[in-house]
Amino acid sequence: MKKILVIALGGNALIRRGQTGTFEEQVENVRHIAPSIARLTSEYRIVLTHGNGPQVGNLYLQQECAREIPAMPLHACVAMTQSLIGYMIQTAFSLCCPGIRVNVIPTRVLVDPDDPAFSNPSKPIGPYYPESNVENLAKKGWRLVYVQSRGWRRVVPSPKPRGIVELEQIKASVENSEITVAVGGGGIPVVDRGRGLEGVDAVVDKDLASSLLAVLLDADLFVILTDVEGVYREYGFPNQVLIRELCCKEAKRLLEAGYFPQGSMGPKVEAAVFFAEKTGRRALIGSLDRLEEVIKGESGTVVRRCVY
């Protein structure tokens, strides 16, 4: 039986800097990394997760431009982009690796309706709006924050993932497909208030949801891919240093000290620590363009459970 590998693709897997995000661009970007992923199927059963921030933002902008058409709630937009991105991934693999079976599973993620995030929305989504739009947007019940020199932007809750609703379907797919795409965009957030599962307007961090999925699948390896080589000390400063290995205790200390911002590397380190502590296995953080080197331990940052 092949091992299970969960790979969390960063946003740059689909839309690179400077691109507009056309369908063709996104498919071509996945085609660029597909051969590396395909080669790993000789040893692993692979689960791919992915972000959807730019895609949800574009969908919201489309809705703003077509106001005579009823707008979809955020959780529905997450579902729509899950399927769209899954189709893009299937298309990319069919063009360059036609023998690889790719199964896409739209995935709901259970969150706690009492999560503190619901009373303190902080996750920015969608486009920036001018001052003239603020009053009308506030009437929708949106929470908006001002970003210097950019404009106003909507912020939504980002609750912690508590469960994967389609876990059994994902397990079955892993047994029968080389690649399974699931938990896209962190999953469609749903709550259970005693009358069935209902979608809520929130965004679940994709790395935290991917880590939970990796634990529940009892994955052998969890990899988070991004647009930098790994985790750095003093990132962005002339004295920045790549951290090649982190034990969970040290990683948590650095998280608490604010070394890793919540808007960038923080959730990735937190997700890696969660997987390593729960399973005792390696979590890796590295560059999207160096996947095979990251897997071999030749690049990136390794997060391990402490042995002392």
Q: How many CA atoms lie within 13 A of 79 on its CB side?
A: 14
Structure tokens belonging to residue 27:
């498919």
Asked if 217 and 8 touch (Cβ cutoff 8 Å), the reply is no
Quick one: fold of 3-109+167-304? Answer: Carbamate kinase (3.40.1160)
Question: What was the pLDDT predicted at 308?
Answer: 62
Domain ranges of the chain: 3-109+167-304
pLDDT for 136 equals 86
- For residue 157 the two structure tokens come to 């809750």
Residue 252 known to be catalytic: no
Catalytic site includes residue 187: no
Question: What tokens were used for 245?
Answer: 């290995």
Q: Averaged in consecutive runs of 10 residues, what is the pLDDT profile of the chain (308 residues)?
A: 94 84 94 94 97 85 78 92 96 93 97 96 87 88 90 94 98 96 97 95 96 98 94 81 93 89 87 97 94 94 86
Assess contact for 22 and 280: CB atoms under 8 A.
Answer: no
Cα 235 versus chain centre, distance: 21
Burial bucket for residue 112 (CB in 10 Å: 0-12, 13-18, 19+)? middle
Query: Active site includes 12?
Result: yes
* Rounded-to-integer distance, Cα 183 and Cα 110, Å: 11
Q: DSSP state, 288?
A: G
Catalytic (active site) residue 268: yes
Q: What is the pLDDT of residue 12?
A: 73
Secondary structure, 3-state, 94-114: HHHCCCCCEEECCCEEEECCC
Q: Which of 2, 11, 252, 278 is an active site residue?
A: 11
Which is the catalytic residue, given 52, 53, 186, 268?
Answer: 268
pTM passes above 0.75: yes
**DSSP label at residue 118:** G
Among 10, 206, 230, 300, the active-site one is 206
What sign for the dihedral angle of Cα 241, 52, 20, 261?
A: negative
Spatial contact of 188 and 78, defined as CB atoms under 8 Å apart = yes
Report the pLDDT value the prediction gives residue 237, as an integer from 0 to 100. Answer: 75
Q: For residue 61, give the amino acid letter.
A: L
Q: Which of 104, 107, 79 is nearest to 93 (CA)?
A: 104
Tell me whether residue 11 is one of the annotated catalytic residues.
Answer: yes
> Helix (H) and strand (E) counts for the chain?
9, 17
Residue 233's pLDDT is: 83
Query: Which one is catalytic: 29, 57, 123, 300?
Result: 123
Sign of CA dihedral 205, 181, 76, 288: positive
